Amino acid sequence: ELKVEQNPLFLSMQEGKNYTIYCNYSTTSDRLYWYRQDPGKSLESLFVLLSNGAVKQEGRLMASLDTKARLSTLHITAAVHDLSATYFCAVDGGTASKLTFGTGTRLQVTL
């Protein structure tokens, strides 16, 4: 059974600081997704990482994938308050494309 773990579960950081969220998964997969969810809202797709070594950046967020280590990271650069949300990674288990989600990391950026 595919397991996806994220850490930390909760992250409080000051504006302007940098930090990294980690996503580990238990079985081979070459397709990993990052989503953002605001409280009570839907999930918004941030990144799709399709191969080993893939790196994607959008604004202050950068995601990378190491399929050999079964690890993805979401790096936040110079955080701003608007980035406060819960971030999920999700791994495509290869079976009919269903995604297994991580536990989520709740990010709180303080002024």
Binding site for other proteins (CB under 8 A): 33, 35, 40-45, 48, 50, 88, 90, 95-104
**Residue placing its CB nearer to other proteins in the complex, 79 or 91:** 91
Q: How far apart are CA 72 and CA 81, in angstroms?
A: 23
Q: Choose between 17 and 98: whose C-beta lies nearer to other proteins.
A: 98
**Cβ atoms 81, 15 nearer than 8 A:** yes
Residue 19 or 101: the one with the smaller Cβ distance to other proteins is 101
Give me the phi and psi of 2, to 5 degrees please: -70, 130
Radius of gyration of the CA atoms of the chain, in A = 13
| C-alpha to C-alpha distance for 3 and 53, rounded to whole angstroms | 21
Within 8 A by CB and 6+ apart from 10, the residues are: 105, 106, 108
| Minimum separation from the CB atom of position 77 to other proteins (A) | 23
* Pick 42 or 111: Cβ nearer other proteins: 42
> Measured from the CB of residue 111, what is the shortest distance to other proteins in angstroms?
28
Closest contact distance (angstroms) between CB of 33 and other proteins is 7
